[in-house]
């Protein structure tokens, strides 16, 4: 006599099936731009603060979208999700130029204004911008996974950790695809010279992509590394050759000519304050040039404090 099948096993047969790739042609999902942020040091907050901060981050993002003239985007997000320490959502790729400029700068200003008047924890964010084919039903796909990997990549974490918490409230990583199509394509007000190329890798993950860092309000060591503030006027045509030869005379005005060859992570030149952990592998140093194999390489004065440098 056969036994009855237990209910939990009997219910495993569903109408949902997992399609096999490359067995037939299917319609490509629409291309969606993606924006994601998460908060630095969120896990270090007291448990009592997790809920309020988790609700505050999307409010600040929405405020910045409205101030940047992107109310349409704010009200038409695709597959929005609160990740606990941040948010992620899709949107029309036609709006990518405006997200890169002026929105990222406006978000940095919004965070700065909040942090200056708040008696609670500072809200400093990492952001990532990407684009790719994703279904509107749930937004699941490789492009979304890569957006989160970019957000967790070593360079953007290292830069935000090293920068002044009084000045730098946002560090953004832009995918190669967005950089090529939008920045190099000339569709956005974000000039290529404000972006720094980095290899985006994530500790413990099989992930490595070319990407670009943009820091709207660089501070101290970032300025000395040649990352220019967005308020600084673009250099006149033909000035690049002279700039490469000129030494730095005052922070934030000229590029010193130091060259960084980065194999992984984020290379920072100049003085680094606050907590900063070096976890590098092989490092070759030749004068002021950095040929970097891995880790978070720092040239100049390096000061480390107590525990820190987390998310």
Predicted confidence (pLDDT) per residue in 114-139, tens digit: 999 998 899 999 999 999 999 999 99
pLDDT at 155: 92
Closest-CA residue to 33 (of 77, 2, 67, 68):
77
Interhelix angle 104-117/47-67, rounded to 10 degrees, is 130
Nearest partner of 227 among 264, 279, 172, judged by Cα: 172
Give me the pLDDT at residue 179, please: 98
Cα gap 63→85, rounded to integer Å: 17
CA distance 50 to 53: 5
pLDDT at 60 over 60: yes
Give the mean pLDDT of 232-240.
42
Note the pLDDT of residue 311.
40
pLDDT at 246 over 60: no
Q: Quick check: 4 pLDDT over 90?
A: no
pLDDT of res. 226: 56
CA distances from 246 to 49, 143, 250, 254, 258 (A): 48, 41, 11, 8, 11
- Region 163-190 average pLDDT: 97
Mean pLDDT of the chain: 77
**What is d(CA 294, CA 201) in angstroms, rounded to the nearest whole number?**
10
Cross-strand bridge partners of residue 302: 272
Does 33 score more than 50 pLDDT? Answer: yes
All structural domains of the chain, each given as residue ranges with its CATH number in brackets, are 29-231 (3.30.70.1230)
Q: pTM above the 0.85 mark? A: no
15 confidence band (pLDDT: 50, 70, 90): confident
């Amino acid at each position: 006599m056969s036994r009855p099948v237990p209910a939990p096993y009997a219910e495993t047969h569903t109408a949902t099936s997992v399609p096999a790739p490359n067995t037939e042609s299917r319609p490509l999902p629409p291309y969606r731009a993606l924006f994601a942020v998460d908060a630095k040091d969120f896990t270090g907050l007291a448990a009592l603060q997790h809920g309020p901060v988790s609700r505050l981050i999307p409010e600040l993002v929405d405020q910045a979208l409205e101030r940047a003239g992107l109310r349409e985007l704010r009200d038409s997000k695709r597959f929005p999700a609160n990740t606990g320490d941040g948010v992620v959502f899709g949107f029309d790729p036609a709006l990518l130029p405006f997200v890169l400029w002026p929105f990222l700068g406006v978000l940095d200003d919004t965070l700065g204004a909040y942090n200056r008047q708040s008696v609670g924890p500072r809200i400093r964010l990492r952001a990532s911008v990407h684009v790719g084919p994703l279904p509107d039903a749930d937004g699941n796909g490789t492009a979304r996974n890569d957006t989160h990997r970019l957000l967790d990549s070593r360079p953007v974490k290292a830069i935000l950790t090293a920068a002044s918490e009084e000045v730098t409230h946002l560090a953004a990583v832009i995918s190669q695809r967005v950089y090529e199509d939008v920045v190099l394509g000339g569709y956005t007000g974000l000039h290529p010279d404000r972006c720094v190329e980095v290899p985006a890798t994530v500790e413990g993950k099989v992930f490595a992509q070319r990407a670009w860092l943009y820091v709207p309000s660089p501070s101290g060591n970032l300025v000395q590394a040649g990352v220019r503030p967005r308020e600084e006027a673009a250099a006149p045509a033909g000035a690049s050759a002279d700039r490469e030869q000129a030494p730095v005379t005052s922070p934030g005005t000229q590029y010193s000519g130091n060259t960084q060859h980065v194999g992984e992570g984020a290379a920072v030149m100049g003085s680094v304050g606050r907590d900063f952990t070096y976890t590098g592998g092989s490092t070759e140093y030749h004068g002021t040039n950095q040929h970097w194999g891995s880790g978070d390489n720092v040239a100049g004065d390096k000061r480390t404090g107590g525990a820190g440098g987390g998310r």
